[in-house]
Amino acid sequence: MKKIVVISFVYALSLLSGCGGSSSTEQVVAPPVAPPSPISGIPVKVTSNNAIGSTTNQCHSTSPSNSQLSFSEIATASGLNFSHLTPNGDGMMGMSGGIAAGDFDNDGWVDLYAIGGDGQANLLLKNQGDGSFADMAAFAEVDLLSLGSGPAFGDLNGDGLLDLFVGSVGGSAPKLYLNQGNDKFLDITESSGLILPGNNFSASWADYDKDGDLDLFITHWSMMSGEYYPYFWRNNGDLTFTDISVEVGIERVSSKDQTFTPTFADIDNDGWLDLLLVADSHQTRVFKNNKDGTFTNITDRDVITDNAGMGSAVGDYDNDGDLDWFVTAISSKDGVTDFGWLTPGNRFYENQGDGTFVDKTDATGTRHGYWAWGACFADFNNDGYLDLFHVNGMSGMGIDEMYQADPSRLFMSNGDGSFTESAINAGIDDKGMGRGLVCFDYDKDGDVDIYIANNNQPPKLYCNEGVKSNFVNIKLLEKSSNSQALGARIYVKTGSVEQMRELRSGNNYVSQNPVEAHFGLAQASKIDNVRIVWPDGEITNITNIDINQFVIIERQ
């Protein structure tokens, strides 16, 4: 009977060397077994950093067992000592303003570009990394004094630096700024070919045609009928743009253009970015990407019924792998009848997995939001389920008193498809004239904070004090001109739960979140797998990413 001895490859070599390559005992040597690679598929480089501890953060809870979600308002303490001002009036019922978020100087901290109005120059708020911001708009040459609206960061030339579009209302001119990489921007509006009418409210960047560079969609709002409005601008790859609205099939939403908030999102899971376009006066539309450079209006008017749509939030609220859609509007609760048919409230559209929606507004408990504007999905308590936040407020002749002091709304997920309104309980007592907002981890402590851009008022910054739950924050770097990997999907699996985020330079309403994916992990002690579906459909799997990290994954 043969004796079979299984030994390591290294040990076998030492035996052969010591015995001169011969032995009286027959040996069977197993081949070396390489440990499984933590990365499979498309190769990437992974770097990570720890969250900032409570000892260096001005609002993070020092209690290691904190379980109660709580926010602190710290705008003044963080250096946000300015106010949006429109002393001359913007002619648009106070609907303008906004904020863009992005790391314009690539120092690892999310900065802000704030619209000031015609009474306060716009501000470029550099994140100092210590809980505060400093305005450097004058040095950067973006201290525009105008009736601006809806700024949006996006890397239009693929050099890894965030450029900037700034919309306009009331006769002011829009601007397109090129980031020069030395903390300065260059105004290229005239040479870019962007010829826009008045009242350009919001913008979104996306690579809708998968050619590797970012195109631009711009909304407008007008009381005039029959005018032509250029929505869709194709990036020509040479710092110029071409109006292709008619060519792609989005020439006009209605005879009177009252579009507000555009969001590119792959709603039917086919790998191509569709367009969700929120508009006033029952004009909200769903456009399917035909994969040939055109779109088809697939709006189901029996389901898409928001009458005064303004803001938009897109995310996978039920963790089933598709993108759901929340639209802000005006609620007529408590007997307000001033606006009649315009006031049935917010809408919550649940994706059925194929790009069709069903109305889950009442089932989710999110209908009543007063006069709502910007909105975002974010996991504020890191429990693994997306919550909802939106701002409110409207003033002017004929506006009911309740809308002039209506509070922001925080809808916390119950994990079962429903939400509970919890703003006051969480310390958010905000009754300002909210328009735009940013939901982002401004101080890199592992939880999502909230910046509110008010109209004709100072902003507010609500700092999340954190709860005892884990997280991971992931940012992607692409090799193509789409350097932020807009359109990519990131799946994070912990145990039996898999969460998904889609990266977008989207729009909340005249405002923009940074392009990064924050995942609350609840009490999970490890991440089983991170799966990335890149914009071109290629896949990377990673099994060695730790919890409570800020992770950058760079495609090689």
Please report where in the chains the tokens 């913008």 appear, as a residue. Answer: 203
Q: Which amino acid is at 72?
A: S
Closest C-alpha to 306, from 354, 248, 366: 366
pLDDT on residue 503: 98
Positive or negative torsion for Cα 427, 404, 379, 471:
negative
pLDDT on residue 383: 97
pLDDT mean over 16-36: 52
Which segment of 197-201, 238-242, 478-482, 518-522 scores lowest on mean pLDDT?
197-201
pLDDT over threshold 50, residue 456: yes
Residues of the chain with pLDDT > 70, as a percent, come to 89
> How sure is the predictor about 256, in pLDDT bands with cuts at 50, 70 and 90?
confident
pLDDT on residue 472: 98
- Tell me the three state secondary structure of residue 314: strand
pLDDT mean over 449-453: 98
pLDDT on residue 198: 79
Which tokens go with 106? 């690539």
pLDDT mean over 170-174: 89
Contact status, residue 505 vs residue 284, Cβ threshold 8 Å: no
In degrees and rounded to multiples of 5, residue 550 shows phi and psi of: -100, 115
Contact status, residue 88 vs residue 458, Cβ threshold 8 Å: no
Task: Give whole-number Cα distances, 514 to 233, 371, 440, in Å.
Answer: 22, 25, 7
Closest C-alpha to 512, from 410, 429, 435, 431: 435
Contact status, residue 509 vs residue 543, Cβ threshold 8 Å: no
pLDDT mean over 5-28: 38
What is the pLDDT of the chain when averaged over all its residues? 90
Give tens-digit pLDDT for 46-69: 999 999 876 666 677 777 677 899
pLDDT on residue 24: 42
The three-point CA angle 468-471-474 to 5° equals: 160
> How sure is the predictor about 286, in pLDDT bands with cuts at 50, 70 and 90?
very high
pLDDT over threshold 70, residue 355: yes
Closest C-alpha to 195, from 166, 233, 157: 233
> How sure is the predictor about 26, in pLDDT bands with cuts at 50, 70 and 90?
low
Contact status, residue 286 vs residue 280, Cβ threshold 8 Å: no
Contact status, residue 334 vs residue 345, Cβ threshold 8 Å: no
Separation of alpha carbons 412 and 446, rounded Å: 18
Give tens-digit pLDDT for 94-135: 899 999 999 999 999 999 999 999 999 999 999 999 999 999
Separation of alpha carbons 484 and 491, rounded Å: 17
pLDDT mean over 160-168: 97
pLDDT on residue 331: 83
Which tokens go with 438? 């940013």
pLDDT on residue 463: 96
Which segment of 10-19, 280-289, 312-321, 419-428 scores lowest on mean pLDDT?
10-19
pLDDT on residue 344: 80
Closest C-alpha to 488, from 508, 505, 507: 505
In degrees and rounded to multiples of 5, residue 340 shows phi and psi of: 50, -120
Closest C-alpha to 434, from 402, 463, 405, 400: 405
Separation of alpha carbons 437 and 417, rounded Å: 24
Question: For the chain, how far is it from start to end, CA to CA, in angstroms?
Answer: 53
Which segment of 79-88, 135-144, 342-351 scores lowest on mean pLDDT?
342-351
pLDDT over threshold 50, residue 4: no
Task: Give whole-number Cα distances, 218 to 198, 310, 328, in Å.
Answer: 11, 14, 19
**DSSP code at position 331:** B
Q: What is the pTM of this model?
A: 0.91
Contact status, residue 101 vs residue 110, Cβ threshold 8 Å: yes
Closest C-alpha to 358, from 322, 324, 315, 319: 324
